[in-house]
Amino acid sequence: MENEDIVIRVRDLVKKFGQFVADDHLSFDVYKGEIFGFLGANGAGKTTAIRMLCGLLEPTSGELTVAGLDGFKQREAIKRRIGYMSQKFSLYEDLTVNENIRLFAGIYGIPTRIRKEKTEELLEKLELTSARKKLVRDLPLGWKQKLAFSLAIIHDPSIVFLDEPSGGVDPVTRRRFWDLIYEAAHEGITVFVTTHYMDEAEYCDRVAIMSAGKIVALDTPEALKKEWDATSMDGVFLKLARSNE
């Protein structure tokens, strides 16, 4: 890949909280349009790493470039270039579909004159036009998920961070959701997925696995499965965990 295709560049990134090293010399690149999976058990240092990538935390040392912006000095600018979605907290359940769209368009500073047009476009794409006046809480989970994702990328960010995006939903809804993610990636948005559901990792182009503050594996799911002689990412994770004990 060419250098200009690197959207997230991480070199020897360290984050300490007092004596505790949450992230220990992380180094990796994420490319434009890639679906990048970031895995690890709770407490592995995942959350801290993502907060740095999102500009919410200043790293202790190392190099960090996100969407061409410096992760130390341009943290505010980074926040404007990224989108974020977690399954639980993204939408306001007591507002209608329309109101949610308008709200997020406003938050992300979409100019008023194209806001209306954008809203219609989005409603049509999600097949929600007839449900536009419905409260979000009354929508089926799958629709909420799609709406939340679409709103996370309403401002055409360079990168969208997804936190356990499809855990728990039925397999068909989950496929429909991944269809949307594939489409976003196809259009050039980099998708950064954090999850501890191993089967979600199977859908990613490449995955990094974190353990105890370090990246212990980084490759395509296929290569990882081959390397660890496993039939699923679950198996990879199991064997990795065992080898680290």
Residues that bind another protein (CB under 8 A): 41-42, 141, 167-173, 175, 178-179, 182-183, 185-186, 196, 198-199, 202-203, 220-222, 232-234, 237-238, 241-242
Which amino acid, one-letter code, is at 91? L
Between 88 and 133, CB nearer to another protein: 88
CB of 184 to another protein, least distance (A): 9
Tell which phi-psi region holds residue 217, choosing left (phi > 0), alpha (psi between -120 and 50) or beta.
beta
Q: Which residues contact 219 (CB under 8 A, 6 or more apart)?
A: 206, 207, 227
| β-sheet bridge partners, residue 15 | 23
Between 30 and 105, CB nearer to another protein: 30
Task: Tell the residue number behind the tokens 């990879």, with chain if given.
Answer: 236
H or E, element range at 52: helix 46-53
- Rounded to whole angstroms, the Cα distance separating 25 from 145 reads 34
CB of 83 to another protein, least distance (A): 18
SS3 64: strand
CB of 205 to another protein, least distance (A): 9
CB of 109 to another protein, least distance (A): 28
Measured over the CA atoms of residue 36, residue 40, residue 45 and residue 51, the dihedral's sign is positive
Between 33 and 68, CB nearer to another protein: 33
Between 43 and 106, CB nearer to another protein: 43
CB of 224 to another protein, least distance (A): 11
- Rounded to whole angstroms, the Cα distance separating 12 from 2 reads 21
CB of 212 to another protein, least distance (A): 13
Between 36 and 237, CB nearer to another protein: 237
Between 116 and 175, CB nearer to another protein: 175
- Rounded to whole angstroms, the Cα distance separating 5 from 30 reads 9
